[in-house]
Amino acid sequence: MGAFNDRLVQPRFLFDRLKRIPDLRGPQRMTLAAAVGALIGILFMEKEHYRKGFQEVFARFSDPDQVRRVRKLFSASGD
């Protein structure tokens, strides 16, 4: 979840920083905007990768057989 959350927060941070860059004009501004845009795109793809991975892990974790094993393991009687 930490990596997913990082990929959620970082694009907002980068976009806000890009808006605050003082007085870049012409090609410099375009180059910087393109680079930050590409980075935001990569972070979005990584976020989706982590989302899918979490869904797969959680599906295994919440499988009824797994839930029964955990309940048995942590029950007071061990039944």
24: closest CA among 12, 36, 10?
A: 36
pLDDT at 1: 65
Domain holding 40, by residue range, is 2-74
Please check the confidence at residue 59 and state whether its pLDDT lies above 80: yes
* Predicted confidence (pLDDT) per residue in 9-33, tens digit: 899 999 888 888 776 677 888 888 8
Q: Is residue 57 a part of any domain in this protein?
A: yes
DSSP 17-55: HHHH-TT--HHHHHHHHHHHHHHHHHHHHHHHHHHHHHH
Please check the confidence at residue 48 and state whether its pLDDT lies above 80: yes
Please check the confidence at residue 67 and state whether its pLDDT lies above 60: yes
- In degrees, rounded to 5, the angle at the alpha carbon of residue 20 between the alpha carbons of residues 18 and 25 is 75
Q: Is residue 51 a part of any domain in this protein?
A: yes
- Supply the mean pLDDT for the chain: 84
Number of independent structural domains in the chain: 1
pTM of the model as a whole: 0.61
